[in-house]
């Protein structure tokens, strides 16, 4: 595994051989959160790309055309316009991408790059090998996302400074791999290359299993709450944060579990054994072991690199001490709106066992959070 630095692979470098063909027609087969965000990121740069797209829900492509993101709609997966594509993005759910690849293959020219954005790579790489296009296929997994799905949740900055995993099969064309890495860097992401089988093992631990655990925790509360739903009512912000990803698409996670089930179950088995050991130390009142359990987790967690994007989207939240007075929430939101700070979410913190501050606001980015903090402090608010 190695990082492909954008200083080496940036597409705007003069006289580089790593650029896409001059015609630069890019096709999106599926236009959801990631596909839409990639298309919007491309539109930030005046390089003359022509973007074409197909989506089973045509209104998404129609909206993208109205917004100036997409130039032309593909009427079907067999639209002859696909013959002009230099880069084909497979942006459907992971299992569907393999089917779509087989459908469109007769229309793909020999010089094109085929890629995908799925969070499981083995299935699509095996399909590319089976269909005889392993040399033309370069796998991709932008490590960014949201609990929200679909084109209307896409953002042009979603992939900025996010890792963009590049995977290649055993018979991959290295020139295409490097060109795809250059393209990922060109839209603001950080390309990182790894074996597709190792990718699936890694994301099972850092993304797929956490989603399973988040859903399990939600079910734990749901199944053990009392008739008055007190657990649900007083759930602290910490519980909501670690279970937020349980709001993701059930259909998407069904496909991920079905296509990466071996890796997921291996890590779940490891987690179950670890959890059982922790249960025993707590049950047996082994104070030193419990202390070491939390201290070790804290120290390792604190060593993580803070990044704006990843497989589990980071939350930028501020906590504000406010008086219980009419209009105070409106005053805070208006103050930030005047300074063009968009609030992603806002709410009263009723349970402050973990969180501080009476008002919790979530912002779209680290820059927004930093700016909002300064503005609020300047206007006399206490920000935690």
Same domain, residue pair 75 and 125: yes
| pLDDT tens per residue across span 150-191 | 898 888 888 888 899 999 998 999 999 999 999 999 888 999
Residue range 191-198: average pLDDT?
94
CATH code where residue 145 lies: 3.40.50.720
How many other C-beta atoms are found inside a 10 Å radius of the C-beta of residue 251? 10
**Amino acid 209: pLDDT:** 95
Same domain, residue pair 32 and 44: yes
| pLDDT tens per residue across span 356-375 | 446 778 887 778 888 998 99
Considering the domain boundaries, does residue 308 fall inside one? no
**Amino acid 147: pLDDT:** 61
Mean model confidence pLDDT for the chain: 85
State which of 280, 302, 324 marks the end of a domain: 302
Percent of the chain at pLDDT > 90 equals: 55
Locus of tokens 């920000």:
383
DSSP secondary structure code for residue 54 in this structure? E
Same domain, residue pair 211 and 190: no
Residue range 97-113: average pLDDT?
95
| Global confidence as pTM | 0.75
**Amino acid 9: pLDDT:** 34
Q: 5 or 162, which is more confident?
A: 162
**Amino acid 356: pLDDT:** 44
pLDDT of 297 over the 50 cut? yes
Same domain, residue pair 210 and 332: no
| pLDDT tens per residue across span 301-346 | 888 755 545 555 566 778 787 766 677 788 888 888 888 888 877 8
pLDDT of 355 over the 80 cut? no
Considering the domain boundaries, does residue 357 fall inside one? yes
| pLDDT tens per residue across span 90-102 | 999 888 999 999 9
**Amino acid 22: pLDDT:** 52
pLDDT of 31 over the 90 cut? yes
**Amino acid 310: pLDDT:** 53
Same domain, residue pair 104 and 171: yes
pLDDT band at 122 (very low <50, low <70, confident <90, very high): very high
pLDDT of 18 over the 60 cut? no
**Amino acid 293: pLDDT:** 93
353: containing domain: 316-383
Same domain, residue pair 18 and 129: yes
Helices (H) and strands (E) in the chain, counts: 15, 13
Helix, strand and coil percent figures for the chain, each rounded to 5? 50, 15, 35
Same domain, residue pair 38 and 170: yes
What b/e string do you get for 205-217 counting C-beta neighbours within 10 Å, with b at 16 or more? Answer: eebbbbbbbbbee
Same domain, residue pair 264 and 115: no
Same domain, residue pair 248 and 185: no
Considering the domain boundaries, does residue 356 fall inside one? yes
Looking at the structure of the chain, the number of domains it has is 3
pLDDT band at 260 (very low <50, low <70, confident <90, very high): very high
Considering the domain boundaries, does residue 311 fall inside one? no
| pLDDT tens per residue across span 39-68 | 999 988 767 899 999 999 999 999 999 999
CATH code where residue 369 lies: 3.30.70.260
DSSP secondary structure code for residue 15 in this structure? T
Considering the domain boundaries, does residue 310 fall inside one? no
State which of 302, 334, 365 marks the end of a domain: 302
Both tokens assigned to 45 = 């740069």
Considering the domain boundaries, does residue 234 fall inside one? yes
Residue range 282-294: average pLDDT?
96
State which of 270, 302, 334 marks the end of a domain: 302
Helix (H) or strand (E) holding 120: none
Same domain, residue pair 46 and 163: yes
Q: 377 or 138, which is more confident?
A: 138
Considering the domain boundaries, does residue 307 fall inside one? no
pLDDT of 1 over the 90 cut? no
pLDDT of 350 over the 70 cut? no
Same domain, residue pair 185 and 207: no
**Amino acid 353: pLDDT:** 36
DSSP secondary structure code for residue 207 in this structure? I
CA angle 139, 37, 146 (to 5 degrees): 90
pLDDT-wise least confident of 4-8, 24-28, 169-173:
4-8
CATH code where residue 245 lies: 1.10.3660.10
Same domain, residue pair 270 and 139: no
Considering the domain boundaries, does residue 274 fall inside one? yes
């Amino acid at each position: 595994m190695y990082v492909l630095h954008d200083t080496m692979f940036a597409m705007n470098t003069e006289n580089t051989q790593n650029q896409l063909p001059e015609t630069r027609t890019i096709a999106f087969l599926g236009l959801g959160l990631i596909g839409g965000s990639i298309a919007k990121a491309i539109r930030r740069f005046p390089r003359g790309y022509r973007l074409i797209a197909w989506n089973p829900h045509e209104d998404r492509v129609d909206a993208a055309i109205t917004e100036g993101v997409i130039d032309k709609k593909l009427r079907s997966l067999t639209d002859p316009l696909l013959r002009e594509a230099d880069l084909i993005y497979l942006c459907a759910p992971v299992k569907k991408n393999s089917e779509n690849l087989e459908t469109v293959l007769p229309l793909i020219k020999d010089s094109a790059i085929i890629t995908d954005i799925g969070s499981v790579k083995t299935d699509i790489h095996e399909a590319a090998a089976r269909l005889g296009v392993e040399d033309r296929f370069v796998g991709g997994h932008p490590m960014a996302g949201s609990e929200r799905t679909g084109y209307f949740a896409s953002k042009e900055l979603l992939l900025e400074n996010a890792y963009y995993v590049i995977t290649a099969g055993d018979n991959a064309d290295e020139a295409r791999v490097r060109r795809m890495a250059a393209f990922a860097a060109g839209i603001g992401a950080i390309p990182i290359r790894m074996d597709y089988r190792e990718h699936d093992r890694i994301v099972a631990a850092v993304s797929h299993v956490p989603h399973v655990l988040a859903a399990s925790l939600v079910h734990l509360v749901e199944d053990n709450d009392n008739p008055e739903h007190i657990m649900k009512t007083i759930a602290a912000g910490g519980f909501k944060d670690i279970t937020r990803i349980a709001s993701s698409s059930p259909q998407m996670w069904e496909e991920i579990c079905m296509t990466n089930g071996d890796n997921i179950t291996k890590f779940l088995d490891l987690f179950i054994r670890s959890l059982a050991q922790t249960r025993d130390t707590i049950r047996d009142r082994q104070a030193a072991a419990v202390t070491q359990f939390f201290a070790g987790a804290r120290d390792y967690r604190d060593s993580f690199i803070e990044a704006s994007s990843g497989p589990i989207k980071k939350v930028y939240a501020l906590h504000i001490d406010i008086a219980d007075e009419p209009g105070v929430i409106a005053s805070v939101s208006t103050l930030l709106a005047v300074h063009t700070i968009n609030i992603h979410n806002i709410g009263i913190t009723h349970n402050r066992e973990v969180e501080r501050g009476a008002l919790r606001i979530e912002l779209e980015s680290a820059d927004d959070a930093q700016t909002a903090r300064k503005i609020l402090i300047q206007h006399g608010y206490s920000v935690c």
